[in-house]
Amino acid sequence: MRNDKAKVASDIAAQKKANTLTQHFQYPPGTAAFEGLANCRSCQLLSDVNVGNCPRCNDTLYLRSPNSIQRTLALIITAILLYIPANIYPIMNTVLFNDKTASTIVGGVVLFVESGSYFIAAVIFAASVLIPIAKMLIILWLCYATSRQSHLSRPELSRLYRATEFIGKWSMIDIFVVAILVALVHITGIMVVEPGTAAQAFAGVVILTMIAAHQFDARLIWDKQKNNE
Amino acid sequence: METQSKIACHDCDCLIMLPEMQINQTLVCPSCSSKQFTTYNRPLDYSISYGLSSLILLVMANSFPFLSFDVQGQIRTITLIQASNDLFIQDFVFLAVLVYIFVLLLPMAYLSLLLILLIPIKFGLKSFFAVSIGRLIGYFRPWIMAEVFIVGVLIALIKVIDLADIIVGFSFWAYIGFAILFTLTANISNRHQLWYWIDRAKR
């Protein structure tokens, strides 16, 4: 019984080793993975993937992040679901002399347009409507494009990915605006700003899309064969 | 330990032989043209001095009034920490914790850990927990949102500027100074540079 188990374990180990040995040839020439070298995720030291852990910082070594596409998709789907309450519920309530007004994310933009501050309206619209939606769509599309033929070339896809990664945290602007207004505008009886449910949901959307962008392994874009360019 | 002779691009895994680099040059991946790292003049000295000034400004930003709001003689003055504290009082715990972490806690932790790591290296002493600190700092970096917070504050001010008189406190300017110096520090002690120092500290 024990012998069987040991045999199975050694078989699996042998299989794994064989896999890692043959896998290298799936990667395009000129890449580190083609030579069997793994780029450490923490310290960017190149070392043989069969070593297991990075000799400099002890992080686990992978040629490509495991299950990167699945993790990214799961996070993005959660973010899309959370984006629905973020737009339905009010992001903050303004109480003026016991008169309560609720404002949603889009409502805030409309308010600025009506009062004539088009530039601020554009900034808020970009940060809290355009960027989150564009980000989620781009990441979904990148996940699709790594497995299928795509209209865009690999440098263009790579540039899109870098843009989403860079722009991610700027969607937090709306949350910080709410936080400052809640703290600052608080004169009991005259004018009070209360946070709304949507603020929590929206913060969740921003964080989930940020984690999703980190989880996506950009190198997968370049692993595709050259024939679709 | 010999120095690294080649690196792999983090975006496309292209192998790059490290060239001889002058000061203020940026290494760009030949295949996908993503930025790898930039070299700076006397990086260790500048990292420590900018990091230390940035940390002092952050402490100052926490000890003075941030903004004041004046409606017909009724004045409300807030400190920086109240941006997260008042959310906590209103039972929005998740938001309060997020704002606190992104705006105050992580920048503070990042700068303190960086200084704990770099100052012994500067004086040629043994640096404790160098590898753990290096990894932690790498995890913190994407989540520090000082510059986003400043833009958020400016937009919030534009929203209320018609309703009342706004008095900008000393802490506001301190926080802006902190954000600028922090960005400089983080750029100079980039990942490539940081792990080069950690290698040297371990030797």
| Of residues B59, B41, B69, the one with CA closest to residue B160 | B69
Whether the pLDDT of residue A128 is over 90: the answer is no
Low-confidence ranges of chain B (pLDDT < 70): 1-3, 203
Residues A32-42 pLDDT 10s: 888 888 888 88
Distance from the Cα of A128 to chain B's closest Cα (Å) equals 12
Domain regions of chain B by residue span: 1-39, 41-202
User: How much of chain A exceeds pLDDT 70, in percent?
Assistant: 86
Tell me which residues of chain A, numbers 18 to 37, contact chain B at a CB-CB cutoff of 8 Å. 27, 30-33, 35, 37
Distance from the Cα of A170 to chain B's closest Cα (Å) equals 6
The pLDDT mean for chain A works out to 82
Rounded average pLDDT over A178-185 = 90
* pLDDT tier for residue A228 given thresholds of 50, 70 and 90: very low
Q: B92 burial class (0-12, 13-18, 19+ CB within 10 angstroms)?
A: buried
* pLDDT tier for residue A229 given thresholds of 50, 70 and 90: very low
Position A54 scores a pLDDT of 86
Whole-complex ipTM:
0.89
Q: Could you tell me which chain A residue has the CA closest to the CA of B5?
A: A46
Q: Which residues pair with A187 in a beta bridge?
A: A191
Residues of B in contact with A221 (CB under 8 A): 12
Position B150 scores a pLDDT of 94
Whether the pLDDT of residue A109 is over 90: the answer is no
Q: In this complex, is the C-beta atom of A124 within 8 Å of any C-beta atom belonging to chain B?
A: yes
Instruction: Round to whole Å and give the CA distance between A161 and A219.
Output: 11
Structure token pair of residue B136: 């932690």
Alpha helix positions (H), B37-169: 43-61, 82-89, 93-100, 106-122, 130-140, 146-160
Q: In this complex, is the C-beta atom of A42 within 8 Å of any C-beta atom belonging to chain B?
A: yes
A85: how many CB neighbours lie within 10 A of its CB? 15
Residues of A in contact with B156 (CB under 8 A): 176-177, 180-181, 184
Q: B13 burial class (0-12, 13-18, 19+ CB within 10 angstroms)?
A: buried
Position A5 scores a pLDDT of 59
Whether the pLDDT of residue A227 is over 70: the answer is no
Residues B80-138 pLDDT 10s: 998 888 889 888 999 999 999 999 999 999 999 999 999 998 988 887 788 899 999 99
Whether the pLDDT of residue A4 is over 80: the answer is no
Q: In this complex, is the C-beta atom of A183 within 8 Å of any C-beta atom belonging to chain B?
A: yes
| Of residues B7, B38, B8, B5, the one with CA closest to residue B24 | B38
Whether the pLDDT of residue A17 is over 80: the answer is no
Q: In this complex, is the C-beta atom of A10 within 8 Å of any C-beta atom belonging to chain B?
A: no
Residues A70-79 pLDDT 10s: 999 999 999 9
With residue B167 as reference, give the H or E element that holds it. Answer: strand B165-168
Instruction: Round to whole Å and give the CA distance between B68 and B166.
Output: 6
A124–B155: do the CB atoms touch at under 8 Å?
Answer: yes
Instruction: Round to whole Å and give the CA distance between B57 and B177.
Output: 7
Position A10 scores a pLDDT of 62
Position A126 scores a pLDDT of 86
Rounded average pLDDT over A113-140 = 86
